[in-house]
């Protein structure tokens, strides 16, 4: 389940309501005296309609488990802090079994603000599915020196699409086109549209009202739509943030509507120009009203802009309302976003430096990177709203020390024994991911990474407790090196770009939030 700040218990309770007589409900109870007698409908979830008892086991997706099961109870695992439903159930041979069902895999406890009472409340509902999309902005192939994006993809749980779907979109090729793309982001638009296509084909929105306790004027109940989580590194980090920006701008097209993806992207891309070229007083005098082709609204256009079918003349909000589904990106986690990409023509896409629709944003930044083409794109913290959770942390080392994927600086050193600065930021990102998302990790892969000392032993916190970072602290000390950099980047392409008189990003001052460009 998600981890609300309020501490809570889950309790089993029967119901004597005429329509649900004999059913068992799970109730979320805040640990304070006032909430004990609270009977809000959204505190209850009807387990009898979703849990069955079959052949000595408890099965989600059945019903009526309380009719044959005995000694039914809910407890909390002391190690994992998962809530577990337990019971005694007979199998086909009449032998008594004691199966367990982890409720955290199916239910979610969410904290929300109630404007009527002006207080924060807890509710229990069906857990959303998770969609995880990873962008590796390097040309590294799968090897013993993988980037943090590849490592993250390896430890994700990928065998149950009903709970989580994951995809990685790297540039894994050694041909010249891949190298040029790595350096210049030549195919940036294609990577964004590929990610958009994956989400368009897999995203499932909110379901119809189901399973809730029906009394005392209950609010409409529905399971949330899929939770979208996007990761990226280097150019891939920019792609990840641009994809989130596109979803904010135009939403998600319906499944199998691939023909309009390119058009939707062009509307999103052109919306940056719309913001930057808002009409001045003089230009407004020459404007007139014309009806939009997408809705009944009238829009202001210039006499020379009469073709309303062109992407630059279409309001993204109109397109979104007419053709798309509204979807939110819950979590964006990136390693060292390379600033506005494109070596010969700088591309600055909208909603990258700030995105009002992203709930949680995390970025690991390279403290010691000094190459002009690698100055990072940071979040515009001045625009962060109260509902957002944003954190950027600077880590020791250069670009590859934070994102990984390159060889150790000490020639001939065993890669398995060499300290890896990039593992420090990986551990941090995994902690943040566990804390703020429903991303599921594969126990076997996690165990392998723990045994290789890439990740620390799993640890869990109770709601309301401060996060315990000590599990990874010793490993961080092992990976800290006295050198400023532990990774080498000997790419001839990057050296060429540093030497050529091409535009390079530079900060305009300590208080300046945006990145500007200068020529070498």
Residue 409 has pLDDT above 60, yes or no: no
As beta bridge partners, residue 102 has: 84
Instruction: Identify the CATH number of the domain in which residue 353 sits.
Output: 3.40.50.1820
| Per-residue pLDDT, 519 | 45
| Per-residue pLDDT, 84 | 95
Q: Which residue has the higher pLDDT, 267 or 305?
A: 267
Mean pLDDT of 451-472: 65
DSSP state of 295: S
> Which of 87-96, 132-141, 353-362 is least confident?
132-141
Q: Last residue of some domain: 126, 149, 174? A: 126
Q: In terms of DSSP bridges, do strands 24-30 and 8-14 run parallel, antiparallel, or are they unpaired?
A: antiparallel
- 270 found inside a domain: no
> Which of 24-38, 140-154, 166-180, 320-334 is least confident?
166-180
Distances in Å between the Cα of 424 and the Cα atoms of 10, 208, 419, 481, 484 are: 36, 43, 10, 11, 14
Residue 485 has pLDDT above 80, yes or no: no
Which tokens go with 1? 């389940």
Judgement on whether residues 50 and 162 belong to the same structural domain of the protein: no
Judgement on whether residues 400 and 469 belong to the same structural domain of the protein: yes
| Per-residue pLDDT, 388 | 94
Q: What percentage of the chain exceeds 70 in pLDDT?
A: 67
Which tokens go with 23? 């059913």
Around Cβ 475, how many Cβ atoms within 10 Å?
19
Q: Which residue has the higher pLDDT, 383 or 16?
A: 383
| Per-residue pLDDT, 511 | 52
Around Cβ 218, how many Cβ atoms within 10 Å?
14
Instruction: Identify the CATH number of the domain in which residue 27 sits.
Output: 2.30.60.10
| Per-residue pLDDT, 113 | 72
- Structural domains in the chain (count): 2
Task: Give the confidence band of 513 by pLDDT, cuts at 50, 70, 90.
Answer: very low
> Which of 100-109, 120-129, 152-161, 344-353 is least confident?
344-353
Judgement on whether residues 180 and 140 belong to the same structural domain of the protein: yes
Q: Which residues contact 429 (CB under 8 A, 6 or more apart)?
A: 148, 152, 231, 333, 335, 362, 364
Judgement on whether residues 146 and 112 belong to the same structural domain of the protein: no
Q: Which residues contact 244 (CB under 8 A, 6 or more apart)?
A: 230, 329, 332, 351, 355, 357, 358
As beta bridge partners, residue 414 has: none
Contact 111, 121 (CB under 8 A): yes
| Per-residue pLDDT, 108 | 86
Contact 25, 44 (CB under 8 A): yes
Which tokens go with 120? 């924060």
For residue 35, what are the domain limits? 8-126
Q: What is the pLDDT of residues 232-247, one digit of tens each?
A: 999 899 999 999 999 9
As beta bridge partners, residue 70 has: 88
> For residue 146, which of 395, 403, 456, 364 has the smallest C-alpha distance?
403
Distances in Å between the Cα of 431 and the Cα atoms of 10, 80, 255, 332 are: 25, 15, 33, 14
Judgement on whether residues 92 and 199 belong to the same structural domain of the protein: no
Residue 376 has pLDDT above 90, yes or no: no
Total count of residues recorded for the chain: 520
| Per-residue pLDDT, 18 | 53
| Mean pLDDT, the chain, integer | 78
Tell me the C-alpha distance between 505 and 238, whole Å. Answer: 14
Q: What is the pLDDT of residues 81-95, one digit of tens each?
A: 889 999 999 998 999
| Per-residue pLDDT, 209 | 37
Judgement on whether residues 83 and 180 belong to the same structural domain of the protein: no
User: Coil, strand or helix: which one is 45?
Assistant: strand
Task: Give the confidence band of 287 by pLDDT, cuts at 50, 70, 90.
Answer: very low
Mean pLDDT of 148-175: 84
| Per-residue pLDDT, 383 | 95
- 312 found inside a domain: no
> Which of 64-78, 200-214, 307-321 is least confident?
200-214
Residue 143 has pLDDT above 90, yes or no: no
Residue 268 has pLDDT above 90, yes or no: yes
Task: Give the confidence band of 188 by pLDDT, cuts at 50, 70, 90.
Answer: confident
Judgement on whether residues 109 and 155 belong to the same structural domain of the protein: no
Q: Which residue has the higher pLDDT, 216 or 116?
A: 116
Tell me the C-alpha distance between 59 and 55, whole Å. Answer: 10
Q: Which residues contact 270 (CB under 8 A, 6 or more apart)?
A: 311, 312, 314
Q: What is the pLDDT of residues 8-38, one digit of tens each?
A: 889 998 865 555 667 899 999 887 656 566 7
Q: What is the pLDDT of residues 288-341, one digit of tens each?
A: 455 454 555 555 444 555 567 788 889 999 999 999 999 999 999 999 998 655
- 316 found inside a domain: no
């Amino acid at each position: 389940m998600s981890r609300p700040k309020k501490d809570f218990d889950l309790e089993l309770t029967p119901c004597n309501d005429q329509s649900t007589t004999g059913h068992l409900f799970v109730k979320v109870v805040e640990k304070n005296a006032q909430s004990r007698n609270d009977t809000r409908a959204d505190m209850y979830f009807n387990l009898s309609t979703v849990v069955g008892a079959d052949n000595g086991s408890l099965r989600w997706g059945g019903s009526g488990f309380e009719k044959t099961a005995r000694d039914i109870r809910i407890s909390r695992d002391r190690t994992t802090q998962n809530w577990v439903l337990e019971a005694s159930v007979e199998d086909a041979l009449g032998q008594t079994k004691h199966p367990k069902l982890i409720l955290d895999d199916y239910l979610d406890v969410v904290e929300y603000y109630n404007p009527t009472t002006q207080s924060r409340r807890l509710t229990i509902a069906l857990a959303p599915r998770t969609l995880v999309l990873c962008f590796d902005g390097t040309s590294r192939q799968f090897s013993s020196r993988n980037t943090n994006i590849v490592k993250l993809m390896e430890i994700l749980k990928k065998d149950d699409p009903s709970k989580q779907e994951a995809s990685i979109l790297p540039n894994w090729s050694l041909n010249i086109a891949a190298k040029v793309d790595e350096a210049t982001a030549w195919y940036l638009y294609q990577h964004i549209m590929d990610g958009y296509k994956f989400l368009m084909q897999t995203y499932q929105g909110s379901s119809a009202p189901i399973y809730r306790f029906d009394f005392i004027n209950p609010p409409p109940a529905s399971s949330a739509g899929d939770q979208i989580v996007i990761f990226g590194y280097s150019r891939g980090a920019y792609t990840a943030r641009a994809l989130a920006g596109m979803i904010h701008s135009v939403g998600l097209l319906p499944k199998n509507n691939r023909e309009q993806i390119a058009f939707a992207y062009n509307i999103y891309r052109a919306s940056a120009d719309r913001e930057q070229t808002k009409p001045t007083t003089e230009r407004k005098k020459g404007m007139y009203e014309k009806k939009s082709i997408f809705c009944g609204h009238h829009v202001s256009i210039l006499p020379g802009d009469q073709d309303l079918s062109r992407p630059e003349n279409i309001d993204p909000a109109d397109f979104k309302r007419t053709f798309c589904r509204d979807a939110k990106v819950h979590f964006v986690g990136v390693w060292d976003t390379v600033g506005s990409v494109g070596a010969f023509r700088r591309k600055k896409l909208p909603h990258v430096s700030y995105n009002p629709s992203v709930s949680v944003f995390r970025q690991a930044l390279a403290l010691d990177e000094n190459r002009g083409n690698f100055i990072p794109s940071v979040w515009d913290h001045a625009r962060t709203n109260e509902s957002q959770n944003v954190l950027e942390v600077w880590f020791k080392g250069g670009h590859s020390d934070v994102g990984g994927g390159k060889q150790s600086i000490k020639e001939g050193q065993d890669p398995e024994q060499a300290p890896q600065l990039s593992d420090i930021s990986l551990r941090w990102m995994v902690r943040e991911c566990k804390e703020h998302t429903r991303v599921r990790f594969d126990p076997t892969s996690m165990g392998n990474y723990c045994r290789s000392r890439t990740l620390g032993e799993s640890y869990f916190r109770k709601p309301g407790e401060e996060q315990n970072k000590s599990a990874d602290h010793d490993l961080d000390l092992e990976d800290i090196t006295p050198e400023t950099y532990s990774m080498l980047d000997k790419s001839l392409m990057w050296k060429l770009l540093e030497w050529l008189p091409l535009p390079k990003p530079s900060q305009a001052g300590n208080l300046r939030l945006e990145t500007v460009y200068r020529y070498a």
